Chain A
Amino acid sequence: MEITYPAALGVFFAFLAILVGITVYSGRIMAAVKVDKYVADFYTAGRGLGAVVIAMMIAAGLCSAGTFLGGPGLIWQLGAAFALIGVAQVFMNFYVLGEFGKKIGIIARRINAQSLVDLFMYRYEKNKAVVIGTVIVMFVFLGAYASAQFVGGARILEVMTGFPYFWGLLLYGGIVVLYTTFGGLRGTALAILVQGSIMTIASLILMFAGVHHMGGVEATFRTIVERTPDFVTPSGSAHLSLAYIASLWITFGLCIAVLPHGLMSTMVYKSTKALHRAILIGGGLVLLWTIGLTIMCGVAGRALSPELAVPDYNLPFLAFASLPPAVAGLALAGVAGAIQSTVGVMLIVISSALVKNVYSTYIKPNASAALMKKVTMGATAGIGVIVFGLAFSAPPALEMIIIFAIGGLASAFFAPLLAMYWPRGNQYGAIAAIFGGMIYYIIGKRFAPSIALGMDPIAMSVLLSIILMVVVSLLTPKPSKETIQLFWGKSKV
């Protein structure tokens, strides 16, 4: 192997070294936790997370390689149309916390919930089909999402520095598996602080360096207009229709609030003051990352490189062209941070679903605390390794897999989550909505695009899933008194 830019690689490794430190530190904290409290603490960190951590957990958890790699790639490929799509996501913290923060925050403390599956389990009368459907959807779509992340990151490392794909994947994928397994949500939260900070620094530097390198904002746009005028229109060089753009606004705007890894934050924040501040801090961060990095660097990269072998190379090429290698290494670390912060929370979410909702509910309800501790760590590591293994068969365009995964998750979960606010919704409606929405989405996406009416199938599948939820619920018996008491009542009976 031939290593180019050793300085960049050095910065990247320094970043990984910090994460190793976090693994050791949080591992020690977790080792001191009493064994009977271990599982709850592993997944919820004692429900005491403050504003900055919650803000970053949503922002860095939902902004993945899509924002840092795939987004600039799609801008390169589709033109300013994707900038118009990108700004749909800037209020993700507000959407997640404003729509579900307080309701789920209170309910999660009533039922001791660790994940979305717990919420659905209690809301829908412990119905097996709801639980199993939720776990399957999470496993399939979050798994695909997470493994696409690893691929994107390792490939960029290889292209930019010559560091072999296999070892790149092993190194920083391995670190994520380690700190989630040993540190649980605490380790993940600490790592997210580091990752989110690196993402912010990288965005700030790259935004100014990239645009400056191309001769300023106007020169950047004029360079592109001379070559490919259509690039700068809202419809972009790919001539996207308004309907298609609107459907992606639904994906990145409306639907981003119902992703299980974003909703994790609603169960673990410590107070409503922290929640409100997390909305403001997160809003600032995502605005900076999206407009500064995804959009401005995406456009500057297009002005720099009219030809690219793979669109996802847009951002790294810009970084290495406009910055000295050691600083450009920060961009690589920023990309890695975006990827790891997302995958870390996802691993915790999937692991919680398997351990609490499948293993300790159906397989071994009376497992001892010591055994549960082992199962928790084992499952987290195991899922990490599976996701990681999937990454060895690399998919072509990163962002498309992310859009697919968000679509699948939202199609299944949007309606059942909204029914947290609709008392008449019941388990039969939820089953119809979860399976109906997901199946319609997969068919519309993979087999019969015509049922989507020229848009991404998300709009139709979410609508269908809401209709199914309402109609099926109204045709079947109303929820039990216990459920209503739990989700709406004022006092415990």
Chain B
Amino acid sequence: MKILEEYGIEEDPRLKIAFKEMLMTFGLCIVYSLTTLAMDWSIGMSKPPQEYSYILGFPTWFFLGIIVCPLVFFCVVVFLVTRVFKDMSLEPWLSEKKGKEGK
């Protein structure tokens, strides 16, 4: 953010938070992708389909990867959104020079 200093611009704290939340979202997206792909591929390709074992009627890799994994990560999403993500005002500008202080 060197460029903001050069121009002498004070960053909007809400947009700073937005940036952090963007990084968290990207992070979760990448962890979810890697976990699911790696787990499913390593379990599912380890033996021929005729020898698959089943959990609740699903082949093991299918149950873990297609049903459990998305649900577990959904819990992480719920945690992030309810506990970590911040509420903020959507007023265009925080402090208008002429009027009174924004929210």
Identify the A interface with B (CB < 8 A). 80, 83-84, 87-88, 90-91, 94-95, 98-103, 105-106, 109-110, 216-221, 225, 229-235, 242, 245-246, 249, 253-254, 270-273, 276, 279-280, 283-284, 287, 291, 295, 421, 423-424, 478-479, 481, 484-485, 487-493
Cross-chain contact A99 with B22 (CB below 8 angstroms): yes
Chain B residues with CB under 8 Å of A485's CB are: 7, 9
Q: Which 3 residue pairs across A and B have the least CB separation, nearest first? A: A217-B57, A98-B25, A218-B57
Other-chain contact of A489, B12, B19, B78, B81 (Cβ < 8 Å): B12
Complex Cα–Cα for A217 and B80 (A): 33
Cross-chain contact A87 with B66 (CB below 8 angstroms): yes
Complex Cα–Cα for A102 and B89 (A): 10
Complex Cα–Cα for A87 and B66 (A): 7
Q: Which residue of A lies closest to B1 (CB)?
A: A423
Cross-chain contact A279 with B81 (CB below 8 angstroms): yes
Known: A83-B66, A90-B70, A254-B29. A225 touches B52 (CB 8 A): yes
Complex Cα–Cα for A106 and B29 (A): 24
Chain B residues with CB under 8 Å of A84's CB are: 36-37, 40, 65-66
Chain A residues with CB under 8 Å of B26's CB are: 99
Chain B residues with CB under 8 Å of A245's CB are: 37
Q: Which residue of A lies closest to B59 (CB)?
A: A232
Residues 4-36 (chain B) with a chain A CB within 8 angstroms: 4, 7, 9-15, 17-19, 21-22, 24-26, 28-30, 32-33, 36
Cross-chain contact A234 with B41 (CB below 8 angstroms): yes
Known: A87-B70, A95-B29. A105 touches B58 (CB 8 A): no
Prevailing SS type, chain B contact patch? helix
Chain B residues with CB under 8 Å of A492's CB are: 92-93, 96-97
Complex Cα–Cα for A100 and B45 (A): 37
Cross-chain contact A276 with B36 (CB below 8 angstroms): no
Complex Cα–Cα for A245 and B45 (A): 14
Cross-chain contact B57 with A106 (CB below 8 angstroms): no
- Quote the shortest CB–CB distance from A263 to chain B (angstroms): 13
Q: Which residue among A242, A478, A490 has the maximum number of chain B CB atoms within 10 Å of its CB?
A: A490
Known: A276-B85, A490-B13, A491-B97. A106 touches B90 (CB 8 A): yes
Complex Cα–Cα for A485 and B66 (A): 45
**Other CB < 8 Å A-B pairs besides A90-B70, A98-B81, A272-B90, 6 of them?**
A99-B22, A101-B18, A110-B93, A232-B62, A233-B45, A284-B74
Cross-chain contact B57 with A221 (CB below 8 angstroms): yes
Known: A95-B29, A291-B70. A490 touches B49 (CB 8 A): no
User: Can you list 30 pairs linking A and B with CB atoms under 8 Å apart?
Assistant: A80-B44, A84-B40, A87-B65, A91-B29, A94-B81, A98-B22, A98-B81, A98-B85, A106-B12, A106-B15, A109-B90, A225-B49, A232-B59, A233-B45, A234-B40, A234-B61, A235-B45, A246-B33, A246-B37, A249-B33, A254-B29, A270-B90, A276-B87, A280-B77, A291-B66, A421-B22, A484-B7, A489-B10, A490-B12, A493-B97
Complex Cα–Cα for A234 and B37 (A): 9
